[in-house]
């Protein structure tokens, strides 16, 4: 059973080294578990879409919730899917600040993005747009 989920959280000290470490750890673990997705960060928040086997996704999210590198995580979106949208990325990487503002504002009330104003379906549409326009760095 394939599922797709999105969560957002408040970053704790998100310097480049901290984000690089999350990406390295996440990529090797996700590859082993058949998880794909993308991690966005910027404006003090993390925003992640994860897809794959339902229990694998739930297990990783349970671990992520315990991670002290962020706080106040909120589940924005969860759905069963028939096909993946991010099969090319074990954990793609997007810096929100580097995106063209219009690519984000299209799906948000205002910039910078704020956790309590995020809409799960809109975030999903934004991420699919980013995937389609090659704005997601590998892998
Ligand atoms: C915002 C954020 C996103 C993360 N995303 C993932 C992920 O997609 N996959 C993953 O395995 N770990 C991810 N992690 C790291 C996990 O919280 C955890 O540190 C990692 O899975 C290693 O756990 P372990 O030492 O128990 O194996 C993320 C952490 C943060 C803060």
Instruction: Give the model confidence (pLDDT) of 62-103 as tens digits.
Output: 999 999 999 999 999 999 999 999 999 999 999 999 999 999
Ligand 1 centroid to Cα of residue 92, in Å, is 14
pTM comes to: 0.95
Instruction: Give the model confidence (pLDDT) of 93-135 as tens digits.
Output: 999 999 999 999 999 999 999 998 999 999 999 999 999 987 7
- Ligand 1 contacts CB of residue 33 (under 6 A): no
Yes or no: domain 2-132 corresponds to CATH 3.30.70.100: yes
Ligand 1 centroid to Cα of residue 136, in Å, is 19
Domain regions of the chain by residue span: 2-132
Ligand 1 centroid to Cα of residue 62, in Å, is 9
The pLDDT value given to residue 139: 58
The pLDDT value given to residue 62: 98
Spell out the SS3 assignment of 2-50. Answer: EEEEEEEEEECCCCHHHHHHHHHHHHHHHHHHCCEEEEEEECCEEEEEE
């Amino acid at each position: 059973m394939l599922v797709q989920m999105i969560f957002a959280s408040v970053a704790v000290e998100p310097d480049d080294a901290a984000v690089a470490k999350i990406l390295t750890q996440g990529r090797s673990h996700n590859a082993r578990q058949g998880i794909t997705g993308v991690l966005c960060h910027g404006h003090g928040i993390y925003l992640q879409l994860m897809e794959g086997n339902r229990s694998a996704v739930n297990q990783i999210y349970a671990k992520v919730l315990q991670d002290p590198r962020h706080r106040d995580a909120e589940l924005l979106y969860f759905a069963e899917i028939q096909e993946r949208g991010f099969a090319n990325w074990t954990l793609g990487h997007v810096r929100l600040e580097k995106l063209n503002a219009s690519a984000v504002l299209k799906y948000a009330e205002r910039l910078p993005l704020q956790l309590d104003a995020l809409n799960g379906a809109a975030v999903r549409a934004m991420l699919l747009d980013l995937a389609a326009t090659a704005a997601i760095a590998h892998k």
